[in-house]
Structure 1
Amino acid sequence: MDPDPREAILDFWFGASEPDFDELERRISLWFEAGPQVDAEIASRFGDIFEKARRGGLDVWKAAPRGRLALIVLLDQFSRNLHRGTAAAFASDAEALRLCLEGIELGLDNELTIVQRAFFYMPLQHAEIASAQEKSVQLFQALEAICPEAIRPHMHRFLVSARSHRNIVAKYGRFPHRNQVLGRKCSDAEEEFLSVGMVPFRSKN
């Protein structure tokens, strides 16, 4: 593990600098299309630090913008790589959402880059809470409006994803594609939705 695990997490996830269009294309594969190889690398490099964060042992990080972002990435993103396809993938969502909302209230998100802010806000997209989903859409609309022109197509994709998440929670009150791993019974409407196979985002969610 690198001397400062916060920076190791952020460097792994975002790279060393604000990405251009081509770098964002490469990053999207890591963020949303990763498979077993990336999952294994995250487990090897960050599995222990994730467990410490999950137990509340890294709360000191949350005082600084980058430290809080590193916690959110651990609890909201790496949790899904480490526990893909299981209920444990979503077990840290509530804490990630709390860190996100509290950080916004403190203005810590404004100290981060555009792309970093997108992941600071991601717990809102993952929440099965209508108000969180509406806030997500508002924030991603704002990011698209202020982002550099070179990366606007990618930020628009984040906004499209936010709207898709919002619309599903508005209709069903939850994400039906999580029902199986969470042991929830699907309604008839959810069964129909899932049978069409049109979940508009990655199974990591």
Structure 2
Amino acid sequence: MLAPWQPLLAWWFGWGRSPQDVADEKSTFWFGKHHDDEARERFGDLVEHALAGGLDEWQESPQGWLGLILLLDQLPRMIHRDTLRAFEGDRRAQVVVMQGLQKNWDYQLLPIQRVFVLLVLEHAEVLDWQNLCVERYRSLLEEQPETHRRLFEGFLDYAEQHQRIIERFGRFPHRNLVLGRPSTSEEMDYLLEPGSRF
């Protein structure tokens, strides 16, 4: 019998044999905007359950922990894209991630799966967590064989970009409009720069 999180993990990561295979298959899926409706149709009920504080039992194994993280962090950004609700699961996701990291559960996941644990910290408007994120991505990179290093160098690069934004502004200016926060003049200038909105 399949664990309840297995269909989600199979949908998210596919069946690639190496991190590069998975990324080649899923990169536009992860970071594009073309699968939002599919996410809503297939997993919308689970996302709502997680956002309401449910599915604690998923935290009893590393794979379930990863599934809950996706429901709280990644899928709301798809299902509720460009709305306040896209960030509704962030706080709980951060707590769930930190609890699992204390158990070293990330080391029981595949390297490409660990990327999506660390993305929760990369999304946080907290410099200490950004610093931890970059530290963990560097460690993850160091663990990879040469054939996979370029992929993980890219993940580290994005983490360092996010870290620099939080160091500079203490928050992500590109979220200000959706979150109803007024932007400073420095932030408005920054948002005119290429690549400022990820």
Which category describes the TM-score, using the shorter chain as reference length? over 0.9
Instruction: In structure 2, give the amino acid aligned to 1:97.
Output: Q
Per the alignment, residue 152 of structure 1 pairs with 149
Give me the whole-angstrom Cα distance separating, in 1, the residues matched to 2:16 and 2:22. Answer: 10
Alignment identity in percent?
A: 37
In the alignment, structure 1 residue 34 sits paired with structure 2 residue 33: yes
> Which structure 2 residues correspond to residues 173-184 of structure 1 after superposition, within 5 A?
173-184=170-181
**Deviation sequence 1:24-76 (CA, Å, 0-9, x none):** 222111111232xx000010000001111111220011011000000001111
Residue 91 of structure 2: aligned partner: 94
Are 2:36 and 2:78, in contact at CA under 8 Å, matched by a contact in 1? yes
Residue type matched to 1:131 in 2? D
Give 1:17 shift: 5.0
Matching residue's letter, 1:26: E
Distance between the aligned counterparts of 2:59 and 2:174, measured in 1?
A: 31
Q: 1:200 to 1:146 in 2, by over 3 A?
A: farther
Name the CA shift for 1:61/1:22 in 2 (closer, same or farther; >3 Å).
Answer: closer
Per-residue CA distance 1:133-185 (angstroms, 9 max, x = gap): 00000000011110233222111111001000000000000000000000000
- TM-score computed with the length of structure 2 as normaliser: 0.95
SS of the equivalent of 2:86 reads helix
| Counterpart mapping for 1:34-113 below 5 A | 34-35=33-34, 38-113=35-110
Corresponding residue number in structure 2 for 1:123: 120
* Paired position in structure 2 for 1:170: 167
Q: Compute the RMSD of aligned alpha carbons.
A: 1.5
Unaligned runs of 5+ residues in structure 1 are none
Q: How many equivalent pairs are there?
A: 198
**Residues 125 and 115 (structure 1 numbering): CA distance in 2 closer, same or farther, change over 3 Å?**
same
TM-score by length of 1: 0.92
